[in-house]
A and B are shown apart, each in its own frame.
Chain A
Amino acid sequence: MQYDTIVIGGGHNGLAAATLLAKAGQSVLVLEKGAQPGGAVGVTRFKDGGSVPRYAHSTIALGRQEISDLGLSRHGLTGREAPLSTLLLSDDGRHVYLDGPSVAYADGAAHPDAAGFTALRDRLSRFADKLAPLVAAPPPQLEGGDWREIVGLAGLAFGIRRLGAVDSREFMRVLLSNVYDTVLDEMDDSPLAALLGVDAVLGGRQGPRAPGTVLTLLQRLRNGGNRIVPKGGMATVVDAFAEAASAAGVTIRCKTGVTAILTEDDRATGVETEEGERITCGRVLSSLDPMTTIRLTGIGQFDAEDVRRVRNIRTRGAAAKVNLSLSAMPSFTGVSDKQASGRILTAQGLGDLELTYNAVKYGEMPETPIMEIVLPGRRDAEMGATLSAIVQYVPYDLQGGWTDSAKKTLESKVLDRLEGFAPGLTASVQEAEVLTPVDIETETGAPGGHWHHGELIADQMLMLRPVPGMDRYEMPVSGMYLCGASTHPGGDVTGLPGCNAARQVLKGLKKRAAA
């Protein structure tokens, strides 16, 4: 059978791209290596019946445009999900709780920096909203953009100017600044100060002192920076994307790995699967990273300079995932059940975050890892007494490699840290799953186990992502596109790279039809 488009990889970005193309009337086939679609949004089921989101345990709120374009609301993603609350655990027991606009100590006492923090967060959110149009579209072209884009950019500049002279100057100053100074200029270091730092660096391999981390943060502060878990858990996210794709007429084939992208006369013509089947198509969209995509096509098909640039993309991940099955729901000292129902962070300050980052630079494990924890069972009793922790900073390239004993060491570091906040937790562990960046790479195909398929920092963002020349989703081989997290605007469960790529494909077709 011949398809208009084949999408390699059934992660949410591949599915999003497929859906938009199918809705535009194309016949689309999605090929997924795993047993089910979902990529980085899977589920771990423990022996005793409990379950936990395998990788991503929350997502930033999806944009209204994507929800409506993909038709996700009919499949469980409404865009009206209540944002998660945030609990900041403090070594001195003075935990901080943030729920909606309220910022206070967990015991209800007023936090001295609440006003300063809120003002800063609001200002940065305002800035983030100004940048939002940049994220929801292909990155601006440095040269030869059409009039629509130029008008769009002028609108963006005008929008920034409309912040007023003081704020627009401030915008241009902080844009490439570092989150450490930006926050500590306004308040003393504390778990509260660390919050924006964690949001800026989580999943990446940068410390909060790295210039450019404010830009990374701004990307995540869109739509108020809220994080959500949809009703029915993270599984709903994948299901919604997959169902929306099917509803649009996309064919999804699982357990079908692709071994080659076929080309003829510098043009993609189909793919070859693990079983040796050749499927022809008009174009190929790859949600894999560019290096893997290039390898599948054959390196000889590409310019040496392009290959060099792609090889230079920094993709070493720095976040691990630890999933625990417990005999009872953990109880954090001084914290109510409600307060423990959102995300829970363990960073003690921006200084703590920066020092923890030091080790990863040399391929070492941190002394005291920093975690973002979610207790899925607090929101969905069916998931049982489980704990999901994103552990930062854990090197992909650990010295000596990720042996079983290294994984055990990481596990005990995590448990030691948890035990301090929730005495008795260690004894209640029934099963533990440690997913290092290497495991994440193996299982999901994310290069380096990196969330974003490539570090999300100024020199790998916008038109520099994944590399100059491929920033418009199009590969140098005609009929070949990228649509994964390695492209603009990067990772997190947003569906934006997929949507942008599909829109770019359609725009190209329209142009060709007109010509």
Chain B
Amino acid sequence: MTEVSGKNGKAGRYDAIVVGAGHNGLTAGAYLAKAGLKTLIVEKNDYIGGAAVSRELHEGWTYSNCSYVCSLLRPEVARDLELGRHGLQVIPYEGGATFLNNGDHFGSYAEHNAFRREIQRHSPIDADAYDRYSRYIMRQCRFIRPLLLRTPPDPVSMRPKDLQEMMFLLKRFHDLGAREMADMLRFWTMSVGEFLDEFFESEVLKAHFAGSGIIGTGLGVYSPGTAYVLLHHYMGDVDGSIGAWGFTRGGMGGVSKALSLAFMEAGGEIVTGSGINHFLTENGQVSGVVLDNGDVYEASTVVSNMDVRRTFLEHVEEGELDGDFIKAVKRFKIRGSSGKLNIALDSLPDFPALPPNSILMQGDMHASESLDELERAYDDWKVGKWSEEPYFDMLIPSQIDPTLTHPGKHMMTVFVQYAPYELAGGESWNGPARQAFADTVINKIARHSPGFRDKIVHMEVRTPWDIENEVGLTEGNIFQGELTFDQLLFNRPVPGYAQYRSPIKGLYLCGSSAHPGGGVMAAPGANAAREVLSDMGRAAVGNGVMGRAA
């Protein structure tokens, strides 16, 4: 548990207040505090971390009950904030598998030659194509990674900083050369299904890779733009190994804990247990926050870690904003599309498809064997049903991280796609639907793991509705907004307000609603802090966050 009790104050004056102690709020807070600002973070829950939490929801078992794996966290941020010294430890996992209905499996090995041999077993042609595919993806990653910690330019603005940044981006793009530019344009606009169809023939291999293109989105594998989402899952790294994923020791709360320690070491304060009621404003300038418990904190800089809809539609008085801005915020698409099961297991489940003691079991496991199966799962969601044959991303981190539970016992996290926020016919999630949803998933797991049901000691079922209620993510969307091109870069979250600022002076956004979007990346938090400091005329903190303030 990473509960931090602040000094439950009644009132106070700060240089800056951050609303929401999610990983981006903590990141922004840490950068501001390190710059010497007297900074307060307020959090509605009585624990910090937002969606990056470790919670003991069943005695003896620690769950990463929301986000569950780590890769995207920007290494620059980890260096600037010395997260290693503050206890952050990421352990890479080296396998993964997709189970087939015929009892076979497709194994994904981090070790290149082993992976090639496995692909060869399914399709010799695809083994050759895989090298071409990896090179292609790597090229896209190399292009995009440095952009994550830069503020997107406003293409309509004529300010020197925006023009300079536009030129920077155009030059970077142009430097690729004609063929690569064309490839990149295609990649950004294609569907992940069609992209994979161009490389591979093996259905299971395509299905295995395609999952990354749809996780967390309201799109199907054949929706244009999902190839880019795939990239969103490849551009991370663990200890410099690009594309690798790992477990945070002690659960995902470890990220938040390290961030909060960095924040507090720099003199920051955290108050938990009461959410914000509303922002205080005076003549279009923010002046502080009023919490639900009545506490009032003043500051002329307030940074919101909440998503854009929550920030402006629920906590700003309507008269403070003009109609066009409100309309644009309402139009911003934040669609709940995923749920989660967190399961305490009495012992390690059996997966007869895998060789005994297989390394594949230590990583992400799935059971969707074709693109059509994935696309049909999306079709269900479109009409307000959870997928009859859901895609899931299932991991058992306790195999690698012994701190999570008792020896011999295990913790399993199952991310499930798709689950709608609103069920057809207006049925409530807070009823039999929740269990029925869980049963659908458990039944599918049990098809590949005999006796699975009997090993369950405790299970937490999280629907989009639950995630919204507990974490505060609108519709339970893990990215605080769809990652479609009309909501990326200078369009995220609202055209004209993509530089972390808002129409209210002094009020900033630092959550995943802002560029570059979701995932436990900490980039929006770091970028927002840089803009705040720039507006105050202060120097940016750290060497890692290189992008210039706009």
Contacts and interface: CB of A to CB of B under 8 A. Distances in A.
Given A185-B331, A469-B179, 9 more contacts: A141-B178, A169-B156, A177-B485, A314-B194, A459-B186, A459-B224, A464-B186, A468-B182, A468-B186
A211 B485 contact: yes
Interface stretch (A38-46, A322-330, A355-363): A355-363
A166 B324 contact: yes
B346 interface: no
B224 A177 contact: no
B225 A211 contact: yes
A118 to B, nearest CB: 18
A253 to B, nearest CB: 37
Interface of B is mostly: helix
* Size range of the chain B interface in the assembly: 35 or more
Interface of B: 155-156, 174, 177-179, 181-183, 185-186, 189-190, 194, 197-198, 219, 222-225, 324, 331, 333, 372, 375-376, 379, 382-383, 484-486, 490-491, 495-496
Nearest to A163: B156
A170 B495 contact: yes
A459 B495 contact: no
A381 interface: no
Contact of B486 (A168, A173, A457): A173
A458 interface: yes
A468 B189 CA distance: 14
A150 B333 CA distance: 35
Given A176-B486, A354-B382, A143 B224 contact: no
A210 B333 contact: no
Contacts of A457: 189, 224
Nearest to B155: A172
A174 B189 contact: no
A361 B490 CA distance: 33
Contact of A142 (B182, B194, B223): B182
B479 to A, nearest CB: 15
Interface in A146-185: 161, 165-166, 168-170, 172-178, 181, 185
Which are the 6 A-B pairs with shortest beta-carbon distances? A468-B182, A169-B495, A458-B189, A177-B486, A143-B178, A176-B485
A144 interface: yes
A212 interface: yes
14 contacts: A142-B174, A143-B177, A173-B486, A176-B484, A210-B223, A211-B189, A211-B224, A211-B484, A355-B382, A458-B224, A459-B185, A459-B190, A463-B182, A463-B185
A174 B179 contact: no
Contacts of A283: none
Interface string A490-502: 0000000000000
A33 interface: no
Contacts of A358: 379, 382
B156 A464 contact: no
Contact of A355 (B185, B376, B383): B383
A209 interface: yes
A300 to B, nearest CB: 21
Contacts of A165: 156, 496
Contacts of A362: 372, 375-376
Contacts of B383: 355
B483 to A, nearest CB: 10
Interface residues of A, number: 38
A362 B219 CA distance: 17
A185 B333 CA distance: 10
Nearest to A165: B156
Contacts of B496: 165, 169
Contacts of B183: 468
B495 A142 contact: no
A65 interface: no
Interface in A322-368: 354-355, 358, 361-362
A177 B186 contact: no
Nearest to B484: A211
A156 B33 CA distance: 46
B293 to A, nearest CB: 37
A146 to B, nearest CB: 14
A209 B486 CA distance: 13
A178 B222 CA distance: 14
A355 B379 CA distance: 8
Contact of B223 (A175, A176, A209): A209
Contacts of B223: 209-211
A212 B178 contact: no
A172 B490 contact: yes
A442 interface: no
A358 B222 CA distance: 11
Interface in A171-230: 172-178, 181, 185, 206, 209-212
A176 to B, nearest CB: 4
A507 B178 CA distance: 21
Contacts of A169: 156, 495-496
B222 A212 contact: no
A236 to B, nearest CB: 37
Contacts of B376: 362
A193 B301 CA distance: 43
Contact of A212 (B155, B197, B224): B224
Contacts of A181: 331, 333
Contacts of B181: 142-143
A312 interface: yes
A210 B178 contact: no
A303 B223 CA distance: 30
